[in-house]
Homo-oligomer: A and B are copies of this chain.
Amino acid sequence: MEWISKSNILIVGLGLMGGSYARGLKRLGFHVSAIDTDAASIEYALSEHIIDRGFTQVDEETVRQADAIIFALYPGVFLQWIREYQHLFKPGLRMTDVTGVKRCVVYDVQAALRPDVEFIAAHPMAGREVYGVQNSDDRIFRDANYIVVPTGKNTAGAIGWCAGLGKLLGFRHIAVLSPEEHDDMIGFVSQLTHCIAVSLMTCSDNTHLAEYTGDSFRDLTRIARINETMWCELFLRNREPLLRQMDGFLRELTAFREMLAAGDAEGMKEKMRLSTQRRAMFDKK
How many residues belonging to A are interface residues under a CB distance threshold of 8 Å? 87
Interchain CB contact (< 8 A) of A256 among B188, B199, B228: B199
Give the distance to chain B from A192, nearest Cβ to Cβ, in Å.
8
Contact A278 B206 (CB under 8 A): yes
For residue A111, CB closer than 8 A to chain B, the reply is no
Tell me the complex Cα distance, A222–B214, Å: 13
For residue A243, CB closer than 8 A to chain B, the reply is yes
230-285 of chain A: CB within 8 A of chain B? 231-232, 235-236, 239, 242-243, 246-254, 256-257, 260-261, 263, 265, 268-269, 271-276, 278-285
A208 closest partner in B (C-beta): B185
Contact A216 B193 (CB under 8 A): yes
Contact B260 A228 (CB under 8 A): no
For residue A47, CB closer than 8 A to chain B, the reply is no
Interchain CB contact (< 8 A) of A235 among B194, B226, B260: B260
Tell me the complex Cα distance, A175–B192, Å: 34
Interface residues of A (CB under 8 A from B): 125-127, 143-145, 147, 173, 175, 185, 188-190, 192-207, 209-226, 228-229, 231-232, 235-236, 239, 242-243, 246-254, 256-257, 260-261, 263, 265, 268-269, 271-276, 278-285
